[in-house]
């Protein structure tokens, strides 16, 4: 595979961003246009660990909420934005986050459905893009479970779900941050329903998935991408074959993209980011790679908080420094760069007349 340029020498011919999407992206990044985002929206991994630590079948709501609050209190000061779920984290995010922090809010339910041979994503009950916008969210995040070889009906359902979210984000003028994760199909090795990276995933499946959702039909503004090969198998920086896979992924994305950690070890995620940044990524949106080790102290909250403010914060600072040195500003993907908005004379009045016209009388 030939390794394409990670970021074209000239800006990609992307549509000019609408004001709401442009402002949301600015809110999520630092002044240099790099995303250093903390994820605390994880539900099954945290809930399972909390219940196990307590020796109980089900996690206590207040325990899960307390864990997420502790994560934000210790690590949000080192982040440009925080990804929060509405069930356990959003209310505390409103008071813990500083005014300059971006707030990305999760739309999808952590409990996925099952098709004949494929997972089905859905929104949290009584939750929507419009509610995220009204709650003060700077962006909408969705996890779409996807496998190019899943059965046709479930594959189409996933495409339709994602398209509907993209249309709603366009309608409410809020950035759409899409995460796609591969998973084992029936008969594949390593069967699991846990939120973990598929151990035996194939790079061509990851790349095909990115290519699919890069189509304009889905309205994605930022991709949250998994490594094209299992993170634990990513070579230290300098491997040409690995670099080519990341470069191809960046080429297919065709817009700003960040890396997810999917529970990778700190050393493995560091390697992943080296290749991603060289290939044009604009930062990271990570959780467990940063705070999972500290979380193991639960239910000893004092010990957990000490580990979060010490080793976990130190690791996040290291990732931030790596992003400062190597990540590409998200604005490089757009013709107008940091301006991002149309500038013909009179554009303001034209936009004001046309914006949200279909919502008149309903907001």
- Residue 321 burial (10 A CB sphere; 0-12, 13-18, 19+): exposed
- Residue 88 burial (10 A CB sphere; 0-12, 13-18, 19+): buried
> From the DSSP assignment, how many helices (H) and strands (E) are in the chain?
13, 10
C-alpha pair distances (Å), 263 with each of 230, 292, 302, 312, 338: 11, 8, 23, 14, 33
31: closest CA among 68, 80, 66?
80
pLDDT of the residue at 190 = 62
What pLDDT, in 10s, does the model give residues 223-279? 999 999 999 999 999 999 999 999 999 999 999 999 999 889 999 999 999 999 999
- In the predicted model, what is the mean pLDDT of residues 170-187? 91
Q: Which long-range contacts (CB under 8 A, 24 or more apart) does 7-10 make?
A: 7/250, 7/280, 7/328, 7/332, 7/333
State the DSSP code for 287.
Answer: S
- In the predicted model, what is the mean pLDDT of residues 157-172? 96
What pLDDT, in 10s, does the model give residues 34-92? 999 999 999 999 999 999 999 999 999 999 999 999 999 999 999 999 999 999 999 99
The pTM assigned to this predicted structure is 0.90
Tell me the CATH architecture of domain 19-356.
Answer: Alpha-Beta Barrel (3.20)
Average pLDDT, the chain: 89
What's the CA gap between 363 and 357, in Å, rounded?
11
Query: Rounded to the nearest 10 degrees, how much is the dihedral formed by the CA atoms of 27, 29, 33, 34?
Result: -170
What pLDDT, in 10s, does the model give residues 303-343? 999 999 999 999 999 999 999 999 999 999 876 544 445 55
pLDDT of the residue at 346 = 59
Give the list of residues 6+ apart from residue 290 with CB closer than 8 angstroms, or none.
38, 75, 261, 266, 312, 315, 316, 319
250: closest CA among 142, 341, 332?
332
pLDDT of the residue at 116 = 72
């Amino acid at each position: 595979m030939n390794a394409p340029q990670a970021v074209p020498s000239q800006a990609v011919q992307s549509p000019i961003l609408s004001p709401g999407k442009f402002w949301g992206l600015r809110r999520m990044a630092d002044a240099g246009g790099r995303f250093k985002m903390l994820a605390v929206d994880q539900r099954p991994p945290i809930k399972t660990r909390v219940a196990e630590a307590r020796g109980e079948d089900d996690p206590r709501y207040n325990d899960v909420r307390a864990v997420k609050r502790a994560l934000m209190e210790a690590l949000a000061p080192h982040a440009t934005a925080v990804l929060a779920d509405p069930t356990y984290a959003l209310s505390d995010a409103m008071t813990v986050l500083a005014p300059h922090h971006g707030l990305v809010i999760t739309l999808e339910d952590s409990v996925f459905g099952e098709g004949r041979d494929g997972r089905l994503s859905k929104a949290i009950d009584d939750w929507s893009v419009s509610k995220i916008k009204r709650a003060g969210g700077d962006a909408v995040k969705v996890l779409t479970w996807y496998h190019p070889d899943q059965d046709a009906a479930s594959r189409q359902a996933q495409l339709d779900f994602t398209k509907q979210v993209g249309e709603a984000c366009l309608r409410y003028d809020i950035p759409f941050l899409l995460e796609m994760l591969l998973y084992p199909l029936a008969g594949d090795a390593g069967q699991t329903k846990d939120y973990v990276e598929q151990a035996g995933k194939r790079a061509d499946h990851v790349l095909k998935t990115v290519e699919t959702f890069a189509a304009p039909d889905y309205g994605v503004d930022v991709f949250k991408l998994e490594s094209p090969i299992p993170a634990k198998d990513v070579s230290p920086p300098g491997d040409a074959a690995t670099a080519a896979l990341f470069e191809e992924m960046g080429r297919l994305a065709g817009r700003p993209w960040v890396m997810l950690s999917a529970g990778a070890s700190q050393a493995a995620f560091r390697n992943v980011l080296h290749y991603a940044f060289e290939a044009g990524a604009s930062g990271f949106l990570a959780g467990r790679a940063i705070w999972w080790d500290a979380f193991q102290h639960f239910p000893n909250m004092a010990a957990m908080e000490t580990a979060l403010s010490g080793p976990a914060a130190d690791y996040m600072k290291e990732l931030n420094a790596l992003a400062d040195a190597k990540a590409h500003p998200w604005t490089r993907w757009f013709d107008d760069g940091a301006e991002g908005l149309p500038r013909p004379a009179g554009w303001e009045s034209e936009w004001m007349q046309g914006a949200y016209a279909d919502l008149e009388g309903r907001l």
